[in-house]
Structure 1
Amino acid sequence: MSSVLTDLCRYPIVQAPMAGGVSCPQLVAAVAEAGGLGFLAAGYKTADGMYNEIKQLRRLTGQPFGVNLFMPQPNLTDPSAVEVYRQQLAGEAAWYETPLGDPDPCGDDGYEAKLAILVEDPVPAVSFTFGCPTRDTFDALAGVGTYTVVTVTTPEEAQTAQWAGADAVCVQGIEAGGHQSTYRDDPQTDGTGIGLLSLVAEVRETVQVPVIAAGGIMRGSQIAAVIAAGAEAAQLGTAFLACPESGAHLLHKQALTNPLFARTALTRAFSGRPARGLVNRFMREHGPYAPAAYPQVHHVTSGLRKAAAKAGDAQGMALWAGQGHRMARELPAGRLTELLAEELDAARAAVSTRSTQ
């Protein structure tokens, strides 16, 4: 690993920031204590909520950690398309006996307030999703000693991040669970993302900054593969989702290995932006009609998702998961981090042995 990443974590293992309460302080602390780099997800939280979780995390560990921010989204949504989708969801609202949420026209997720806190009270690392900050932002974070990472899905996005001043890029393959982190949501490109190994190699030949690989990684042998392809480290989300420290709903954790949820797909049904999750009834029924309207659709369906979880109905929940979800292991996060490192060492040794035979 690069020297800065080595300072942040003993192993080349990054726990992905999973918004919605999954990447809670307990999970991040457990990963950090075991030698990985854990990330808090500030998305969908208020600035105060983020700050309070950072304080809680600092009480749990003295090891380095990161915080992830959602970039502000341009308001390009067609209000009429959102209203049509609201009408389509009326039956869901009646079934779960909960009102639909109001679409929030502001897509900034409290970005400026959160950024101001992170400059005033720095954390070791900050990553960005759904876009790339300005050079002024990178300069401000560099000035307080914060390591910066931008999530990218193409070589062009990686080049933009390097030019803007990012310290590293997190390369997200099409296999990744949760939202696709493209800079610009273009419906014409739905499902046309690049597989992780190919994307890592392309980005590695395009930029000089360190690469962190993300997308469907569940085993140490896969970490070895992306490192061989040119990555400095691997970022895993779904692999940590089943851990007891994870804030994911129990139904979500159980669904990862449930044969009823055998495959994943990209959908706009829950948020209005392509995201990979376990295929369930809600996704099948509403995915084909959901508009490109993020975060408006997210706010509209928020109550439905919470009501489905409360009712114990996984068929109405957003079950975000990567393509490797069936390999999820219900282990404490610290033990999983150590096991991944052991598997990585074993994979490297096996390759070395084969190469000398």
Structure 2
Amino acid sequence: MSSALSGLCRYPIVQAPMAGGASRPELAAAVSDAGGLGFLAGGYKTTDGMYHEIKRLRALTPRAFGVNLFMPQPALADPAAVATYRGQLAGEAAWYETPLPEDPSEGSTDDAYEAKVAILLDDPVPVVSFTFGCPTPEVLAAFARVGTRTVVTVTSADEARTAQRAGAVAVCVQGIEAGGHQGTHRDDPEADGSGFGLLALVAQVREAVALPILAAGGLMRGEQIAAVLAAGAEAAQLGTAFLVCPESGAAAVHKKALTDPLFTRTELTRAFSGRPARGLVNRFLREHGPYAPAAYPQVHHLTAGLRRAAAAAGDPQGMALWAGQGHRLARTMPAGQLVEVLVAELAEARARRD
């Protein structure tokens, strides 16, 4: 096992922290019990909500697990652009009979980051990862003092260098194939869609820093895990592969859509949150994606009610159907069984290579 995860899990398989409800304690526990590393998503939760999920997870498994935090975001949104987008969504609000917030900028832009850090330092967990930026050296050092290993999500070699200088234990290298939000440290609209594929990015980061690498992005099979390990990663992080498991908290309509022939491709979009995120191309994405401003988390707050209403109505055309490029390879089986299948496929791929 890698120096970053040594002693924490039996296999080089990490379940991605998927914010929005998918990464429930039941899912993380099943993955950790099977020999992988399960993760909770701290993003979009209150501090109490995160704390109680950690308590539930500890009651479900004695195994190691991780918690992911969103980094605070700078106030860069153009209020006029957000107001224009709000006007464009008036038809959606009428259709789903859901009012839009008058001022989405009133929602949190820091996701209660400082309070969540304080909780995790007071009651440490084995691993904490960070998305949308890099913590200060002081925060990373504080986690090191309490025995927590830290992982910073990166999408470029420069971001990996930043993480190394700050004192991260490892980096999660996220290729552009990944489902959900791109974990870029700085949201640059001019760079939309210009990220690197996972194998190319792993090679670049491996040459740039001396940190262990967790590879993420479109991974669905043991053969792909073997490929990223051969490229220099020390573990693979999978999200979409676990999204369809019964332990996942994703909506049933979302799980079904991943392999529904109606949804043929994914695309990076700002339509649902104001930040680039990869999801299945549906009506909402097609109609609103081209006009969504670079305004995270304001657009997230603006569309939250619409997305909840669409899910409640069982309407996949109005939901954020986050999915990686390998979504059609999703297999509906218990999470522990999926870990076993992936481990067997990995062993077979290695045997063929040898």
| Residue 58 of structure 1 pairs with residue 58 of structure 2 | yes
Report deviation, 1:4. Answer: 4.3
CA distances 1:289-342 after superposition (whole Å, capped 9, x unpaired) = 000000000000000000011111100000000000000000100000111011
| Residue 170 of structure 1 pairs with residue 172 of structure 2 | yes
TM (normalized to structure 1)? 0.98
Q: Which runs of 5+ in 2 are unaligned?
A: none
Aligned to 2:10: 10
Map 1:149-188; keep pairs closer than 5 Å: 149-188=151-190
CA distances 1:134-161 after superposition (whole Å, capped 9, x unpaired) = 0000110000000100000000000000
Aligned to 2:76: 76
Aligned to 2:104: 103
TM (normalized to structure 2)? 0.99
Equivalent pair of 2:4/2:212 in contact (CA under 8 Å): no
Report deviation, 1:3. Answer: 3.6
Equivalent pair of 2:93/2:306 in contact (CA under 8 Å): yes
Map 1:320-339; keep pairs closer than 5 Å: 320-339=322-341
Map 1:1-357; keep pairs closer than 5 Å: 1-101=1-101, 102-105=103-106, 106-352=108-354
Please state whether the residue corresponding to 1:8 is helix, strand or coil: coil
Q: Take 1:114 and 1:231, find their aligned partners in 2: how far apart are those partners? A: 29
CA distances 1:134-192 after superposition (whole Å, capped 9, x unpaired) = 00001100000001000000000000000000000000000000000000000000000
CA distances 1:182-218 after superposition (whole Å, capped 9, x unpaired) = 0000000000000000000000000001000000000
Please state whether the residue corresponding to 1:181 is helix, strand or coil: coil
> Which consecutive segments of 4 or more residues in structure 1 shift more than 2 A?
1-4
Q: Write the letter of the residue equivalent to 2:282.
A: N
CA distances 1:247-294 after superposition (whole Å, capped 9, x unpaired) = 000000000000100100000000000000000000000000000000
Q: Which runs of 5+ in 1 are unaligned?
A: 353-357
Q: Take 2:320 and 2:4, find their aligned partners in 1: how far apart are those partners? A: 36
What is the total number of aligned residue pairs between the two structures?
A: 352
Report deviation, 1:27. Answer: 0.2
CA distances 1:3-44 after superposition (whole Å, capped 9, x unpaired) = 441311100000000000000000000000000001100100
Q: Give me the CA root mean square deviation.
A: 0.7
Percent identity between the aligned chains?
74
Q: Take 2:88 and 2:352, find their aligned partners in 1: how far apart are those partners? A: 54
Q: Take 1:172 and 1:335, find their aligned partners in 2: how far apart are those partners? A: 25
